[in-house]
A and B are shown apart, each in its own frame.
Chain A
Amino acid sequence: MFSLPPPDPRPITRWLVIGLFQAARRPRLSMLLMLALLVLTGSALANAVGPAASYTAAAVPAPAPVAAAPAPTDASSAPMAEGKGLLKQESQNCMRCHWMETMAYRDRETGKIVNLSIDGDAYSHSVHAELACSDCHDRGFSSYPHRSSSADEALNCVDCHEGRQDDGAPNLIGVKHEFEKSVHFTEGVEEFSCFSCHNPHTFHPFKPGVSILEVVAETNGTCLDCHTELLTPVPKGHEWLPRPQAHWSSVRCLDCHTPLEGRIPDRPSHNVLAAEESNQLCVECHSKGSALLSQLYNYRAEQAREEDGFFSQAIYNDAYIVGMTRNAWMDRIGLAVIFLMILGVAAHGYGRYYSRRRQENSQQENSQ
């Protein structure tokens, strides 16, 4: 029924104000005002002992759950300079073919479809919007057909993103160090590179307002593209996990498969852990101090409340996570109900026993 939203650092008085305001806007809910006040009291108590300490409000408005830190320049708001990016003449030459949405081929070695299509629209909204094709692909593309293997072209994110650039491009050295500890690197997965997961032609950080479910779907899509064996009823290595597909759609793989220590709100670690090192403890997430609150849900509460108001959020919370989303008062009420029920049953039983004895007594008296 009622569930507690993730903790919010704002003073309780603001909660109250927003709550009252929202309730007034929604007449249906105003009837629940009294009850809600109860919940508020409870949540305030819960908040006091909750995981607020692991999370600072001022930290991030918009976390970027994948590779890069938040982009310093927002491509959509900054108009592209004339002759830059895809508008540059040589880029236009490339796009004469590469605009085709289905331009792709099946790799003869892996059997997988390699997409060669550039979505101009997505590119112009990506962090790399200002770059022309040749800024990265600088050799071997002047004639058609191009050279046979794109592997000849050893492109690497860190080559450009080493140290913070003048233009504000982020430094990815830290990511590189994390990646080099990850199972994708240490196990020597063939030709595993940044591009195995990240498409530089569409890459952009998640914007505030993207729902948790979308964040999860997009992030996990990256993993499940290769790990297709996990799309089965009893996924390999996850036999212990109840309702695996429900987990795939509501929590990121990375939330278990990166180290619990040292998480930062900005982005998940690139140190992807092997199965045996990964978190298998349900209570890490399904608890009041859920590990999910430090990354995946860290901006959720505030945003949801802005949109729906506290009460709708509390009642209709679509991200209900058993254990994490709980209300101490509801627990107590539940316990009380159970206690009262046992009491009622016992009283009823005693009543019957008592009346039976009286009846027997009176019969004995009568027979005498």
Chain B
Amino acid sequence: MNIRSLFATKTRRRLAIVLAVILVPAVLYKVAYPLFFDAYTGVKNAPLTYDTRKLSEAEFNQLALELTESARRERAEATVTEERDAFAREVKMEILMRTPSFIRESGYAHIEYFREAGILEYKGPETCLECHATIDITHEDGSVETVDTLDNIVNTVHFKFQSAEGGAFSTYGYDGRQVNAEGARKIPVGKINRACGIPGSFSWTGWAALVASRPEHGLEGEAEQSPVSADPPTAEGITLALNDPGAEGHGVGEGVADGVVLRSEGCGQCHIGGNYHPATEKMMPVGDVPGVAKEGIDCLICHAAEYDMNQRYVIQDKKGLRWNQDRSMRAAMTVGRATNQNCLNCHQHNMGGDAYIHNVAAKHLGDKHQRLLHTGAKRGNPFSPESDAHAAAGIKCTDCHVPEGHKIPRGRKGVDLVASDLPHKEVSCESCHSQAPHNVSDHRALLNGHVARLACETCHIPQLEDNNVVLRDWVHPTWDAEEGIWTPTDVYRSGQPGEGLMYLWFNGNGTFLANALGSNPEGDGSYNPLMEQIARIDNPDVIAAVRAAAEELKQQYPDINVDEYVEMATNPLSQLSPEMLEKRRQMVADNLGKAMQEGESRIYPFKPFNAMMFEDMNNQGPFGAMILPFDYAVYYETGDARAAVAKAIQDPIVLRMYQEPFKLYMMDEFMAYFGVEGGWKTIYPLTADKTLAPQVEPHWMRQMGTLMVNHGIQRKGHDCKACHQPDGILDYAALGYTPERIAELTSNEIIAEIEIEP
């Protein structure tokens, strides 16, 4: 048939036009747009392969037996703890293990499902979706909705790391507008595009990195047996290691020469997407992540009781670096609802920290390319039976963070820009404990009375872990001999009240740079944390510790002026020009008043944090300038902080950030919230010879960020005298109390009366 005959008659021509009108946009949208998007942003998509294998039926049965036995044994062990005699315990366990009802009730339900369905290989989401193509979601009002499972999960914050939804943020810009409020132009914000001084990067530039480390004393544990040469590393050795053509990468087990050990690092280690980059496509109002990326979702890290964190390491294939997953049948056979350990596989990292002694995931660093541990803790408030009253009582994460489908609520109060799937769903102590939580003490009514002004956490998180980072200097790295890498220098760490734990009024609102907002309901109006508490460190002990750290750094960086360094770190406002300082004062007074006065404020504990990073001073305002990310491999390997920034900002997406479309799409709005007037300046901060442009300067952010702490709850909180004495942990004057009220609150009179009690 001739092509012309298709258009022979008028009717055919009309039909062809109608078809074209339908087909052309569809093809453009489905084929041309994704290609263009990938080319423009530099994101990569390709089919992802993992090490999976089909089991024989015999192997399946063997595995089923082992898993069931061990689950049963674990349950039996937990049941017989009352029995003191070890032998009697063992006998009881044996009896239990053979008891029919006990056998029925312990074990993994999916083993039987897999057996029936003949599933002998776990291929990722496609295996799960065979049965779970849709799920029923129970909403808060009790209504049930059936949704597409894959669609449900790719639209969660756990996959997208950002949200552009209205009302998803209790965060206010320094211009006074609520971020993405109703009526505002919505921009995608969340961890994906919000660089932060704790990780020193964001998920675009810090997704997955293989770092060539040079440990001086070898590695602990499994890695210790690997042949690590004592010879000093050479450039050739590193290059050799990195250019290893093996599709599965290379590492300690492979005998890399010259003492180089490859280590894994990056944001992707804790995220459920398995691609070469975060779900950037989701930041656009149109389009979707491609099917190949969805096939990379790691269902098992959240759902398999026996997920092996040793499978979480960076692998390199022809397309680039990405994170490996545990896709074994062993893990798949243990799937079920998410357990606490599933959540903690990732979240203990930002609660207890990597160095926390009961962090289970941190004991399984990888079969190869072991993940780097971060010795400073982001919050230092662990959730584990050893350190938290609720975990000890067997409470599940999802008992408080009650999910709706794959969307998990974070709570209505959020100081920072971490996106939230169910921003209006309550997660609070009161929802279980009521407003009268104290039942034992003689003073219970008095203690309950405090709930009106104090959050439960204020007393019941008496302190954070000692390695809680307060001040982190990314500009002057120090050599970590044990790990064989350069790390940012933690100038100050503490978990003690008044040092690494501070108390602020908080009504659930925060600022664009994570500063808690609130007001003293009986105050004299003097409470102004953005000009006072969080913009200055007064504690002489802390200042002395920072000075000591600066003096130590000076040994290595002779250019450091210790006095200036201490001043900048402990009084970050000193970095502002007088005009800028005045402008800040004005903006705080004019723009943030409403957000501070709103609702009911109570005193909450916060972990303060500030970091010295490189900033693009063309985009600066009274609260800080745009911070620039570091490339992990360059930073850790060379300790050249400037080169690491130069490398990271060569990432295509950062280049695009400094161009007009990105500026108009979101950066102008981003800057307005940031308190920077005049919109986003698109002068790319890299010179022609790939070094940092002169507008890039090292600075501390102009105030400390305040991170909420809600875990690590202790049954016994602070006692009365912790606060009700002249030198208590609450600085009533800074909290905006009147002198008369301070005298009352700090007097020992009432306490003395209470203390008479036996």
Chain A residues within CB distance 8 Å of chain B: 96-97, 100-106, 113, 116-117, 144-145
CB distance from B344 to the nearest CB of A (A): 32
Instruction: Please state if B449 and A113 are interface contacts (CB–CB under 8 Å).
Output: no
In whole Å, how far is A267's beta carbon from the nearest beta carbon of chain B? 32
Determine the main DSSP class of A at the interface with B: loop
Shortest beta-carbon distance from A153 to chain B in Å: 15
Contacting pair B448 A104 (CB below 8 A): yes
Bound-complex Cα distance A214 to B444 (A):
34
Stretch in B348-356, B435-443, B604-612 with 4+ CB within 8 Å of A: B435-443
If A96-B744, A102-B452 are given as contacts, then 11 extra A-B residue pairs at C-beta distance below 8 Å, sorted by A number, are A100-B446, A102-B450, A102-B451, A103-B445, A105-B438, A106-B436, A113-B435, A144-B750, A144-B753, A144-B754, A145-B443
A105-B450 CB under 8 A given contacts A113-B435, A144-B753: no
CB-based contact A117/B434 at 8 Å:
no
A113 to B453, CA, bound (A): 19
Q: Is the CB of B445 within 8 A of A105?
A: yes
| 29 intermolecular pairs with C-beta atoms under 8 Å apart | A97-B449, A100-B446, A101-B449, A101-B452, A102-B435, A102-B436, A102-B448, A102-B449, A102-B450, A102-B451, A102-B452, A103-B446, A103-B448, A104-B435, A104-B436, A104-B445, A104-B448, A104-B449, A105-B438, A105-B439, A105-B445, A105-B448, A106-B444, A113-B434, A113-B435, A113-B436, A116-B449, A144-B750, A145-B757
Count of A-B contacts judged by CB separation below 8 Å: 49
Give every chain A residue within 8 A of B750 (Cβ-Cβ). Answer: 144
A97, A105, A113 — which one has the most chain B CB atoms within 10 A of its CB? Answer: A105
Residue of A nearest to B754 (CB): A144
Could you mark each residue 437-480 of chain B with 1 if its beta carbon is under 8 Å from any beta carbon of chain A, else 0? 01100111110111111000000000000000000000000000
**Complex contact A116–B445 (CB within 8 A):** yes
Interface of B is mostly: helix
List chain B positions with a Cβ less than 8 A from chain A: 434-436, 438-439, 442-446, 448-453, 744, 750, 753-754, 757
Given known contacts A113-B435, A144-B753, A144-B754, A105 and B444 CB-to-CB distance under 8 angstroms: yes
B754 near A106 with CB under 8 A, answer no
Instruction: A94 to B442: give the CA distance in the assembly, Å.
Output: 18
Q: Give A113 to B437 CA distance when docked, in angstroms.
A: 10
Complex Cα distance, B756 from A144, in Å, reads 10
Q: Which residue of chain B has its CB nearest to the CB of A108?
A: B439
Q: Determine the distance from Cα of A113 to Cα of B439 in the docked complex, in whole angstroms.
A: 11
Contact A97 B452 (CB under 8 A): no
A117 contacts B442, C-beta separation under 8 Å: no
Tell whether, in the assembled complex, residue A100 and residue B452 are in contact, meaning their CB atoms are under 8 Å apart. yes
Residues in chain A near residue B439, CB distance under 8 A: 105-106
Top 4 nearest A-B pairs by Cβ distance?
A: A100-B449, A103-B449, A102-B451, A101-B452
Q: Which residues of A contact B435 (CB under 8 A)?
A: 102, 104, 113
- Residues of the B chain whose Cβ atoms lie less than 8 Å from the Cβ of A105: 436, 438-439, 444-445, 448
- Given known A105-B436, A144-B753, contact A97–B448 (CB-CB < 8 A): no
* Nearest chain A residue, comparing its CB with the CB of B442: A145
Q: How far is the CB of B501 from chain A (nearest CB, A)?
A: 23
Please give, as numbers and ranges, the residues of chain A lying within 8 Å of B436 by CB-CB distance.
102, 104-106, 113
Residues of chain A lying within 8 A (CB to CB) of residue B446:
97, 100, 103
Closest chain-B Cβ to A214's Cβ sits at a distance in Å of 23
Closest chain B CB from A93 CB (angstroms):
11
What distance in Å separates the Cβ of A16 from its nearest Cβ neighbour in chain B? Answer: 46
Complex: how many Å from CA A100 to CA B452? 7
Cβ of A117: which chain B residues have Cβ within 8 Å of it? 449
- Of all chain B residues, the one with the shortest Cβ separation from A144 is B753
Q: How far is the CB of A104 from chain B (nearest CB, A)?
A: 4
CA distance A104 to B443 in the complex (A): 10
Closest A residue to B446 by CB, please name it: A97
A201 to chain B, nearest CB (A): 16
How far in angstroms is the closest Cβ of chain A from B349? Answer: 35
Alpha-carbon gap, A113 to B744, bound state (A): 28
Q: Which residues of the partner chain B approach A102 to less than 8 Å between Cβ atoms?
A: 435-436, 448-452
The residue of chain A having its C-beta at the shortest distance from the C-beta of B522 within the complex is A99
**Chain A residues with CB below 8 A from B434, complex form:** 106, 113
A144 to B438, CA, bound (A): 18
CA–CA, A113 to B434, complex, Å? 9
Complex Cα spacing A113 to B445, Å: 10
The smallest beta-carbon distance between B106 and chain A, in angstroms, is 35
* Shortest Cβ gap from B450 to chain A (Å): 7
Q: Which residues of B contact A116 (CB under 8 A)?
A: 445, 449
A106 to B445, alpha carbons, bound, how many Å?
9
**Chain B residue at smallest Cβ distance from A116:** B445
User: Inside 8 A of B444's CB, which chain A residues have their CB?
Assistant: 105-106
Separation of A97 and B448 alpha carbons in the complex (Å): 11
> Considering residues A97, A100, A101, A102, which has the most beta carbons from chain B within 10 angstroms of its beta carbon?
A102
B753: chain A residues at CB < 8 Å are 144
Could you tell me the distance between the alpha carbons of A275 and B753 in the complex, rounded to whole angstroms? 51
A358 smallest CB distance to B (angstroms): 49
Rounded to whole Å, the gap between the CB of A225 and the closest CB of chain B is: 15
Give the Cβ gap from B377 to chain A, nearest Cβ, in Å.
32
Q: What is the CA–CA distance of A102 and B436 in the complex, to the nearest angstrom?
A: 7
Residues of B within 8 A of A103 (CB): 445-446, 448-449, 452
A100 and B442 contact, CB distance less than 8 A = no
Nearest B residue to A112 by beta-carbon distance? B436
* Residues of chain A within 8 A of B744, CB atoms compared: 96
Which residues of A sit under 8 angstroms from B448, Cβ to Cβ?
102-105
Q: Are B450 and A100 closer than 8 Å at their CB atoms?
A: yes
A101 to B445, CA, bound (A): 11
Chain B's nearest CB lies how many Å from the CB of A193?
A: 21
- Nearest-neighbour CB distance to chain B for A106, whole angstroms, equals 5
Contacts of A106 in B (CB 8 A): 434, 436, 439, 444
> How far, in angstroms, from A103 to B450 measured CA to CA in the complex?
7
Measured in the bound complex, the distance between the Cα atoms of B750 and A116 in whole Å is 18
Residues of A within 8 A of B438 (CB): 105
Chain B residues with Cβ below 8 Å from A145 are: 442-443, 757
Query: How many whole Å from B631's CB to the nearest CB in chain A?
Result: 51
The CA of A104 and the CA of B453, in the complex, are separated in Å by 14
The minimal Cβ–Cβ distance linking A34 to chain B, given in whole angstroms, is: 44
Quote the shortest CB–CB distance from B658 to chain A (angstroms).
52
Smallest beta-carbon distance B720→chain A, Å? 13
Most A Cβ at <10 Å: residue of B434, B436, B442, B443: B436
CA distance A96 to B753 in the complex (A): 14
By a CB distance below 8 angstroms, the chain A residues around B443 are 145
B residues less than 8 Å from A97 (CB atoms): 446, 449
The complex places the Cα of A117 from the Cα of B451 at a distance, in Å, of 12
Chain B residues contacting A113 (CB-CB under 8 Å) are 434-436
- Minimum CB–CB distance from B52 to chain A (whole Å) comes to 50
A1 to B410, CA, bound (A): 47
Cα A105 to Cα B448 with chains together (Å) = 7
A101 to B754, CA, bound (A): 21
> What A residues does B450 contact at CB under 8 A?
100, 102
Closest B residue to A103 using CB positions: B449
A96 to B750 alpha-carbon distance, docked (Å): 10
**Nearest-CB distance from A320 to chain B (Å)?**
27
List the A residue with the shortest CB-CB distance to B753.
Answer: A144
Please name the residue on chain A nearest to B443 by beta carbon.
Answer: A145
Q: Tell me how far the C-beta of B495 lies from the nearest C-beta in chain A, rounded to whole angstroms.
A: 28
A233, chain B: closest CB distance, angstroms? 12
Tell me the bound Cα distance from A106 to B757 in angstroms. 21
User: Which residues on A sit within 8 Å (CB–CB) of B442?
Assistant: 145
Name the residue of chain B whose CB is nearest to the CB of A146.
B445
| Assembled-state Cα–Cα distance A102/B455 (Å) | 12
Residues of A within 8 A of B445 (CB): 103-105, 116
Measured CA separation A308–B736 after assembly (Å)? 46
Q: How far is the CB of B150 from chain A (nearest CB, A)?
A: 36
Closest to A98 in B: B449
CA of A100 to CA of B451 in the docked complex: distance in angstroms?
A: 9
A104 neighbours in B (Cβ, 8 Å): 435-436, 445, 448-449
Bound: A101/B451 CA distance, A? 8
Most A-side CB within 10 Å, residue of B439, B444, B448: B448
Chain B min CB distance to A302 (Å): 39
